[in-house]
């Protein structure tokens, strides 16, 4: 199965229920979209991410009630440097959706979604630990995997694979 090119045109994807829902709620929240390899990605603005998640979770049409995963990608030295990636799953509709929030290196802060899914707790702590992205409103934002006194954030691209010598 040869790869078909990614669709990034907002107009073409408007019929996707999750995208339609977000556009109807707040058109300025959607920055961009991408449909690639049968996976839907919506780039959401930083400030309304928690509300966007809550709406996608509670809407009866979409019902993305399960948070599969949150992770982060570091695009150093490009700006905006960080992409926080949310993978949502709808248990009833058997659909997946990816949300992305882009953050600049000067203030990598995004609102925590622990209020929507308590299960986001460890995922966000892990990102804070390994990337140094902070989550405002997180109940207990401390290092998860690395020792408390560790310096630096190992999964950043400017952190050497062997660690600092």
The DSSP bridge pattern shows strands 109-111 and 134-136 to be parallel
Over the window 25 to 44, marking each residue x when it contacts other proteins by CB under 8 A and - when it does not, the resulting string is: -----------xx-x-x---
- Tell me 160's DSSP state: -
Q: Which is nearer to other proteins, 84 or 110 (CB)?
A: 84
| Total residues interacting with other proteins, rule: CB under 8 A | 45
Q: Which of 33, 67, 84, 103 binds other proteins (CB under 8 A)?
A: 67
Q: Which position has the token pair 């702590």? A: 125
Strand partners, 69: 87
- The burial class, CB within 10 Å (0-12 / 13-18 / 19+), for 97 is buried
Q: Which of 1, 60, 77, 151 binds other proteins (CB under 8 A)?
A: 1
Q: Which of 71, 80, 105, 134 binds other proteins (CB under 8 A)?
A: 71
Q: How many residues does this entry show for the chain? A: 165
115 binds other proteins (CB under 8 A): no
Q: Are 104 and 81 in contact (CB under 8 A)?
A: yes
Which range, of 7-15, 21-29, 47-55, 155-163, touches other proteins by CB under 8 A? 155-163
118 binds other proteins (CB under 8 A): yes
Buried b (16+ CB within 10 A) or exposed e, 53-80: bebbbebeebbbbebeebebebeeeeee
Residues near other proteins (CB under 8 A) are: 1-3, 6, 36-37, 39, 41, 65-69, 71, 73-74, 85, 87, 89, 91, 94, 96, 98, 117-123, 126, 130, 140, 142-149, 154-155, 159, 161
């Amino acid at each position: 199965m040869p790869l078909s090119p990614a669709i990034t045109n907002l107009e073409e994807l408007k019929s996707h229920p999750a995208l339609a829902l977000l556009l109807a709620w707040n058109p300025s929240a959607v920055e961009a979209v991408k449909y690639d390899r049968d996976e839907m990605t919506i780039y959401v603005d930083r400030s309304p991410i928690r509300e966007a998640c809550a709406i996608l979770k509670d809407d009866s049409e979409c019902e993305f009630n399960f948070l599969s995963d949150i992770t982060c990608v570091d695009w150093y030295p490009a700006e905006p440097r960080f992409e926080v990636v949310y993978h949502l799953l709808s248990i009833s509709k058997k659909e997946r959706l990816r949300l992305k929030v882009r953050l600049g290196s000067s203030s990598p802060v995004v609102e925590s979604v622990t209020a929507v899914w308590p299960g986001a707790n460890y995922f966000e702590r892990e990102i804070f630990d390994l990337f140094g992205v902070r989550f405002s409103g997180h109940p207990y934002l401390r290092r998860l995997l690395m020792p408390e006194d560790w310096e630096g954030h190992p999964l950043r691209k400017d952190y050497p694979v062997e660690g600092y010598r």
